[in-house]
Structure 1
Amino acid sequence: MDSSQQKARHRRRRLGLTVGIPVAMAAAAGLSYGPDLGLFGEDAQRTASAAAAPAWANDTADGFASVNALGQKGTYGGRGGKTVTVKTFADLEKYATAAEPYVIVVAGAINMDPKGKEIKVASDKTIVGSGTSGQIVGGGFFLGQGVHNVIIRNLTIRDSYMGTWNDKDHDFDAIQMDGAHHVWIDHNDLRHMADGLIDSRKDTTYVTVSWNKLSNNNKTFGIGWTENATADLTIHHNWFRETEQRNPSADNLAHAHLYNNWLQDESGTDITTSYGNYARGKTKMVLENSYFQGLKNPVTKDSTAALVQRGNVFSGTSGRNESGGAAFDPKSFYSYTLDKAADIPALLKSGTGPRTSIGTTAGTGTSSPKAAATLTVAKDGSGQYTTVQAAVNAVPAHNPSRVVISIKPGTYRETVKVPSNKPHVTFQGTGGSRKDTVIVFNNAAGTPKPDGSGNYGTGGSATVAVDADDFQARNLTISNDFDEAKNQNLNGHQAVALRTGADKVLLDGVIMTGDQDTLLLDTAARDKLGRVYITNSYIVGNVDFIFGRATAVINKSVITLKKRWDGTSAGYVTAPSTAPDRKGFLINNTTFNGDVSAGSFFLGRNWHAGGDASLDPQTTVRNSTLSNAIKSKPWTDMGGFSWKDDRFAEYKNTGPGAGSASGDRPQLTDAQATGQEIDDWLGNWTPTAS
């Protein structure tokens, strides 16, 4: 990175997180992945718009939710009622609490007000996300005594977390059920709530929980809270990932049937699972063909419980793994088909969570949106291409819809560029870990180009360069392994792993690793907006290793501080070069760690690129855990410009590297912090995997 820089003019703006896409309905038969049967509907408006129920609204639950009991014949939700599309909290609450049946399509992100709000859902409702866009942010749903025949499907419900991991004060669940029956919870992404992701309490029964992704949570899925052993639940094809407890905890269930679930605890993260499936009290549990990976105490039972295991796989587990007693035969209640346990990780990685095929069309009178085209890359020749760049080259110019480049495990030593005329591209690693698929090269700023036309320069050194809007990368590693020690003769040791120069870039589950200048977050031009959202990822480096002029959010990730080539500890995490009236870097709910000396790293310095005094560098670090490597005065000057003239602040950080407010350590007030949140950075863009 060029060490010359800019100066800033301070003008704030607040961007609301709004979604204004026209969305109607898709007709999809089968449970959650059947073929399209046709189209109908009308464009969604900012207020709810009614339409006749689509074909997929006739889908019904399997498992215990399909059993005829308590006067209810299976679970079919709002079938037979009107279909409405909602984009506001007021409309969602209006229709979810109505007495009559409704199919309610959530199109976009709806922020719950106040935070932690749980909408009291009435009987005979289907609440379904429109493709991958339907999100409930900061709250969830409550199904009270006697509520029945409810489907909650294809939604992302997230982020009611209040900053306390074992929160005793905020009962903010994604889905809470107290005495409900006949409920189907299917194909949702549930994560990061203050309390439970799913709480099934007080004799709630005839429930099926299927094809959901549950992650980043403490008290994940609790069942019971009563002495009565009357509840019947089916839990199948769910991915529990980085969840500490209640996975689920089943207390006094008459019949608990768990099959084809994947419980995963990845090493090296801040969350350690304390136990997996737990049969408590008088529970009778049948546990079949599930996959347990890296867990302590994968299966536990009380002495009073009955637990039958069949066909499960345990990989890297330790501690209690128990069974015993006579349970029941699930096939005496309903029919079902088991998948092989060994196939479960791959099956659930691709199949859980919201589906683009549910709840969406391109609008009235148009054809169904095309499924994402997939190009396969494999080093061993088993794919369509052996290099990632060859697959990128095969993407049509100005492609109108998403192209997924599926990259099989392996190390791909190459440089890759996604040009600006190829938007909507996804790099998807297909290994069991983001470490399995690696794109790596070793160019540095001072590395001579092979054609003799000079050196690469900082931006040109990138292993992966993205100039195309709406780019996504998931479940892989992007690295620059330039060896500084062996190349001290070069003039320019900046070595970029990933450079982005585009808008709407989503990086989810990506490792970005290097030394100096690892991650360059840029824009196509100074007057162009370039938004980047990074989540569930790792960023490794030492000097200015997150830098550039993009508007970027790093959320729920790990930033690892690394020693320099000569073994010394000294560095700078961020070097923003933000344009005036733009947002810079927001680091939220992220952990800073690394094997470096105490007090050796700055959180950032102000990069006025090219000596441009009009620039306004910004980094905010909030609600994050700082290691003792962070200096007590965490910001510093660069290129002759004072950081105090620019925008650097913290808010409610913890850990040994955190500190109280001072002239050398600005802290946001609570009021200021409300204007420095994720939606302020992303504006009208809601990042969703597709």
Structure 2
Amino acid sequence: MRAIKDEHRAARHRRRRLSLAVGIPVAMAAAAGLTYGTAFGVFGEDAQPRASAATAAGAAAGAASAADDVADGMADDVADGFASVNALGQNGTYGGRDGKTVTVKTLADLEKYATAADPYVIVVAATITMDPKGKEIKVASDKTIVGSGTSGQIVGGGFFLGQGVHNVILRNLTIRDSYAGTWNDKEHDFDAVQMDGAHHVWIDHNDLRHMADGLIDSRKDTTYLTVSWNKLSDNNKTFGIGWTENTTADITIHHNWLRETEQRNPSTDNVAHAHLYNNYLQDVAGTDITSSYGNYSRGNTKMVLENSYFEGLNNPVTKDSSAAVVQRGNVFVGTSGRNESGGTAFDPKSFYAYTLDKAADVPAKVKAGTGPRAATGVTAEAASSTLTVAKDGSGRYRTVQAAVDAVPANNSSRVVVSIAPGTYRETVKIPANKPHVTLQGTGGSRKDTVIVYDNAAGTPKPDGSGTYGTSGSATVAAEADDFQARNLTLSNDFDEKANQNLAGHQAVALRTAADKAFLDGVIVEGDQDTLLLDTAAKDKLGRAYIRDSYVVGNTDFIFGRATAVVDRSVITLKKRWDGTSQGYVTAPSTPADRKGFLITNTTVTGDVSARSFYLGRNWHAGGDATLDPQTTVRDSALSGAIRTTPWSDMGGFPWKDDRFAEYKNTGAGSGTASGDRPQLTDAQARNQEIADWLGNWNPTALNPA
């Protein structure tokens, strides 16, 4: 009989008695052992205990980081102003964040992805010359085109957004030099950005200059447009808006630097709501370019002009008799000619929130902040510490997988995928080359954020290549080292009753297949094979630590070959699809030279029949007789649902030839030592603590190494 193995070793002064640091109170544990509880165990529906302090700290750090990014106007890929308004079936402007990120260095690749039907974040990482000169790439909807640092330059042409094109971001680019030798050019319509009937567009932090025609042409009822933090210079016709008798467009223009531009600064023709604020218009004396006019409200335009700074311009603010301009807080230095206001306009804050800078501060702020920034672009964003996910479009990504896809390969520091409350019906895979990823729910409860899918082992793959198999059925598959999940629910809701025709009902909610997986304050729920704790290969170490969490299931629902600890948690037993109560908590398939599963300071309970569940059985995966499966359950509260003989054979291998034991458990499901119920001695127990399982890994750290 080898049910308990003595593991002789020297005492280690480094031993951390993590299992005893914060345990379930004895009275609570004893009481728990006398009840079957609810589906979420004795701690109640809202899933206590939980690592709320760590979760809150992480969320606060993420929020602070995000706030800093927004304050810099650089790292959050969500537009402000009218481009942020929910209208025309589009909830704000976020570009291609739900698609793949690609890096381009050639005109062919830029055009390929910009014109594609699918969403893309397109990183321009080189100087790309348009051929022929004046070429304007026809950008399709749901695109972000962003320069990588200051290296993304478009020379001799630009971009065209046609009728109905929407949800486009142009950012951190230099677009220049389509000038064809004629200052007031009537022949060459070579714009930097031309929009004809587009909506929800954000043009931000670009350097636009020296084009044959306009720097920006917003035409034919283009609406829900925000133009921010751009440098527009060395041009005749800068920024024209209109080319229609309709009065429908809504446009925000803020924090732009217009320098040495003659006209259309901008010219706004028949714009329903034109909000211009904190712009800096500068005409430097003695240069070859002299301004004709500045901001112009034409036709039926209603313009609100706030806290902008005009320096040296002729006719800084003009309006038609039919148009309106409401001026507030603007500064005029060395200007001459028409400076007009009149009529009634609108309240921009009835459409969106914004904050005004003082007009006197605008020149310095705009000079320092406009144009492409070396520290921005997708490279910096993807490497940032927090990537936000929200189904309603208020985050950077709409799906969890899209955020994971944005994590740089072989990243060296932690990236938190911060997930807003909601149910995300998708599968998620964190590949092996993306370590240090945390999936973190931001709701008040771990039940608020749910990632769920319903694949099972026998579910056919859509491509006809067979079925998923057990490991392939996972809703979330974490194949990268140092994975974390916090404050959320990971679920597989495969319906066994409705799919009795399928061969293979194993349905994994979470599969870990790497080292240092840390589950902190989560719910992992399913039926058969809920939590697969695996390793990258049989000869690879794979450690997992599950703390302050719930694991729910009925058959072998904690299984695999990893070295894993379940600490201070609730294991909830669940009836089968047909209402019967029978099952196995663990099914370890541990290599002979490794630790298997340690369950400590945990409550095992559930609304099931008395004496109907085993604590575990020995899984010799693939009939491998060299394996030595191990489960130890210690210092835990066991409900009366646990059998008096809690261990079972599996696949023809006697459990007594492997490693199964208990130590000082309590509750109606506990029992005394016998040949069918091995108990550790005190000496043996000292070598079966959390530190023995985790070695030099301390998963209580914020960013475990």
| Alpha-carbon spacing, 1:269–1:632, altered in 2? closer, same or farther (3 Å) | closer
Cross-structure match for 1:196: none
2: CA distance, partners of 1:395 / 1:474: 18
What is the CA RMSD across the aligned residues, in angstroms? 3.4
Measured after TM superposition, the shift of residue 470 of structure 1 is 0.4
Paired residue secondary structure (2:581): coil
- For 2:490, which of 468, 472, 478 is the aligned residue? 478
Residue 547 in structure 1 maps to residue 559 in structure 2: yes
Check whether the contact 1:15–1:683 (CA below 8 A) recurs between aligned residues: no
Residue 575 in structure 1 maps to residue 587 in structure 2: yes
Q: Residues 396-439 of structure 1: CA distance to partner in whole angstroms, max 9, x if unpaired?
A: 00001111100000000000000000000000100000000000
Residue 402 in structure 1 maps to residue 263 in structure 2: no
| Alpha-carbon spacing, 1:549–1:162, altered in 2? closer, same or farther (3 Å) | closer
| Alpha-carbon spacing, 1:453–1:596, altered in 2? closer, same or farther (3 Å) | same
Q: Residues 22-43 of structure 1: CA distance to partner in whole angstroms, max 9, x if unpaired?
A: xxxxxxxxxxxxxxxxxxxxxx
Cross-structure match for 2:505: 493
Residue 639 in structure 1 maps to residue 500 in structure 2: no
2: CA distance, partners of 1:267 / 1:601: 15
2: CA distance, partners of 1:524 / 1:443: 22
Paired residue secondary structure (1:392): helix
Residue 502 in structure 1 maps to residue 514 in structure 2: yes
The one-letter code matched in structure 1 to 2:26 is W
- For 2:632, which of 597, 620, 626 is the aligned residue? 620
Residue 350 in structure 1 maps to residue 363 in structure 2: no
Q: Percent identity?
A: 70
1: CA distance, partners of 2:469 / 2:512: 15
Check whether the contact 1:267–1:294 (CA below 8 A) recurs between aligned residues: no
The unaligned stretches of length 5 or more in structure 2 are 30-37, 66-381
2: CA distance, partners of 1:429 / 1:637: 39
Cross-structure match for 1:219: none
| Alpha-carbon spacing, 1:371–1:448, altered in 2? closer, same or farther (3 Å) | closer
Cross-structure match for 2:242: none
| Alpha-carbon spacing, 1:461–1:161, altered in 2? closer, same or farther (3 Å) | closer
Residue 601 in structure 1 maps to residue 613 in structure 2: yes
Q: How does 1:52-201 map to 2 (within 5 A)?
A: 159-160=20-21, 165=26
Check whether the contact 2:3–2:660 (CA below 8 A) recurs between aligned residues: no
- For 1:381, which of 374, 378, 393 is the aligned residue? 393
Cross-structure match for 1:143: none
| Alpha-carbon spacing, 1:543–1:441, altered in 2? closer, same or farther (3 Å) | same
Q: Residues 51-82 of structure 1: CA distance to partner in whole angstroms, max 9, x if unpaired?
A: xxxxxxxxxxxxxxxxxxxxxxxxxxxxxxxx
Check whether the contact 1:577–1:608 (CA below 8 A) recurs between aligned residues: yes
Paired residue secondary structure (1:393): helix
Paired residue secondary structure (2:487): strand
Measured after TM superposition, the shift of residue 581 of structure 1 is 1.1
Check whether the contact 1:346–1:432 (CA below 8 A) recurs between aligned residues: no
Residue 689 in structure 1 maps to residue 689 in structure 2: no
| Alpha-carbon spacing, 1:443–1:563, altered in 2? closer, same or farther (3 Å) | same
The one-letter code matched in structure 2 to 1:505 is A
Paired residue secondary structure (1:521): strand
Check whether the contact 1:16–1:684 (CA below 8 A) recurs between aligned residues: no
- For 1:650, which of 651, 662, 676 is the aligned residue? 662
**After the TM superposition, which segments of 4 or more aligned residues of structure 1 sit over 3 Å from their partners?**
7-17, 158-167, 266-272, 344-353
Cross-structure match for 2:319: none
- For 1:448, which of 451, 457, 460 is the aligned residue? 460
Cross-structure match for 2:423: 411
Cross-structure match for 1:70: none
| Alpha-carbon spacing, 1:345–1:620, altered in 2? closer, same or farther (3 Å) | closer
Check whether the contact 1:547–1:577 (CA below 8 A) recurs between aligned residues: yes
Cross-structure match for 2:329: none
Cross-structure match for 1:220: none
1: CA distance, partners of 2:383 / 2:686: 38
Measured after TM superposition, the shift of residue 162 of structure 1 is 8.1
Q: Residues 583-642 of structure 1: CA distance to partner in whole angstroms, max 9, x if unpaired?
A: 000000000111100000000000000000000000000000001000000001000000
Q: Residues 477-504 of structure 1: CA distance to partner in whole angstroms, max 9, x if unpaired?
A: 0000000000000000000000000000
Alignment size in residue pairs: 371
The one-letter code matched in structure 2 to 1:689 is L
| Alpha-carbon spacing, 1:445–1:345, altered in 2? closer, same or farther (3 Å) | closer
2: CA distance, partners of 1:495 / 1:271: 26
2: CA distance, partners of 1:403 / 1:468: 12
1: CA distance, partners of 2:666 / 2:55: 37
- Give the helix-richer structure, 1 or 2: 2
Check whether the contact 1:619–1:647 (CA below 8 A) recurs between aligned residues: yes
| Alpha-carbon spacing, 1:16–1:451, altered in 2? closer, same or farther (3 Å) | farther
**Worse-matched range after superposition: 489-498 or 344-353:** 344-353
| Alpha-carbon spacing, 1:676–1:372, altered in 2? closer, same or farther (3 Å) | farther
2: CA distance, partners of 1:345 / 1:689: 8
Check whether the contact 2:23–2:568 (CA below 8 A) recurs between aligned residues: no
Residue 514 in structure 1 maps to residue 526 in structure 2: yes
Cross-structure match for 2:568: 556
| Alpha-carbon spacing, 1:376–1:161, altered in 2? closer, same or farther (3 Å) | closer
| Alpha-carbon spacing, 1:15–1:488, altered in 2? closer, same or farther (3 Å) | farther
2: CA distance, partners of 1:609 / 1:507: 25
Please give the TM-score of this superposition, normalised by the length of structure 2.
0.49
- For 2:451, which of 439, 446, 450 is the aligned residue? 439
Whose radius of gyration is greater, 1 or 2?
Answer: 2
Check whether the contact 1:515–1:541 (CA below 8 A) recurs between aligned residues: yes
2: CA distance, partners of 1:294 / 1:630: 22
The unaligned stretches of length 5 or more in structure 1 are 1-6, 18-87, 89-109, 113-136, 139-157, 168-215, 217-265, 273-292, 296-343, 357-369
Check whether the contact 1:602–1:631 (CA below 8 A) recurs between aligned residues: yes
